[in-house]
């Protein structure tokens, strides 16, 4: 039976002491509990083990408040059971997180300081180097870029093709169709996923035509390995067939 929790180690390599630590599923509007509590601090060069509730979409947002009241915020941090989250600054003074999985794989996520992207922190700068990684079938192969063909085999013009990570909020979906796709025609889709989504291999494709008709099914696909997508009308909605 799959565990309902994740064990995560938080390592502080920032040069500052952390007073508060919040981790919540991406897309939620509530930070939840302070994992350090009212009596604990996470000192520089220290580590702290936390337990998180597991959910299907394994991206989390992280908020940290240090001893000076500065806030570090990171979005779309891919956390899995047994990983270590190393938090510090890059060579430009921008907060960064390196997530090291139990198998040694590494993911890097850039953050913001005091809500201002690119702000630099005062005091000591501890460098967190961005990790270059190639994992077959993910965005690490192409720096997040995906390319695949779409065939409109219906009798209607398609207005938009929205893709997004499965189980994520629809607010993060992106329209990858460069222009209206006429009936019985095809086009090449070229897109770029944000770095926080490079590790995600299950995405959904949502079709909308010029009349506002949409697709009914949300079968997942991998945008980095799919070769082409056949779209056709069946019953009262669109159906997408993915070929690899």
Among 139, 146, 35, 2, smallest CA distance to 78 is for 139
Name the residue with higher pLDDT: 172 or 146. Answer: 146
pLDDT in tens, 119-136: 344 433 444 444 444 457
Geometric angle at alpha carbon 75, from 74 and 76, rounded to 5°: 130
Work out the end-to-end distance of the chain between its first and last CA atoms, rounded to an integer number of angstroms.
31
The full set of domains in the chain, from first to last, is 5-114 (2.60.40.2890), 145-243 (2.60.40.2890)
Geometric angle at alpha carbon 37, from 34 and 41, rounded to 5°: 105
**Token pair of 136 as six digits:** 């077959």
Q: What is the pLDDT of residue 225?
A: 93
Q: How many residues does the chain have?
A: 244
d(CA 70, CA 113): 7
Please say whether the beta carbons of 175 and 161 come within 8 A. Answer: yes
The alpha carbon dihedral of 7, 11, 16, 17 has a sign of positive
Is residue 197 helix, strand or coil?
A: helix
Name the residue with higher pLDDT: 105 or 184. Answer: 184
pLDDT in tens, 167-217: 887 777 889 998 899 999 999 999 888 877 888 889 999 999 988 888 876
Other residues' Cβ atoms within 10 Å of the Cβ of residue 36: 19
């Amino acid at each position: 039976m799959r565990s309902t929790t994740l064990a995560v180690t938080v390592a502080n390599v920032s040069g500052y002491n952390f007073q508060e630590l919040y981790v919540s599923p991406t897309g939620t509007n509530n930070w939840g509990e302070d994992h350090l509590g009212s009596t604990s601090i996470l000192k520089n060069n220290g580590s702290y083990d936390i337990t998180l509730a597991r959910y299907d979409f394994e991206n989390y947002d992280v908020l940290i408040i240090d001893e000076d009241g500065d806030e570090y915020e990171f979005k779309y941090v891919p956390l899995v059971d047994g990983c270590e989250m190393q938090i510090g600054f890059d060579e430009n003074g921008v907060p960064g997180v390196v997530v090291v999985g139990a198998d040694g794989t590494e993911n890097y996520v850039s953050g913001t300081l005091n809500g201002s992207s690119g702000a630099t922190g005062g005091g000591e700068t501890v460098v967190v180097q961005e990790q270059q990684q190639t994992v077959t079938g993910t965005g690490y192969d192409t720096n997040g870029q995906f390319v695949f063909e779409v065939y409109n085999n219906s009798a209607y013009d398609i207005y938009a093709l929205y893709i997004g990570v499965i189980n994520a909020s629809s607010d993060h979906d992106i329209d990858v169709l460069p222009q209206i796709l006429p009936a019985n025609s095809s086009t090449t889709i070229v897109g770029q996923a944000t770095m926080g989504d490079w590790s995600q291999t299950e995405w959904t494709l949502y079709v909308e035509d010029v009349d506002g008709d949409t697709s009914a099914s949300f079968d997942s696909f991998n945008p980095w390995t799919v070769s082409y997508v056949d779209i056709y009308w069946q019953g009262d909605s669109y159906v997408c067939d993915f070929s690899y």
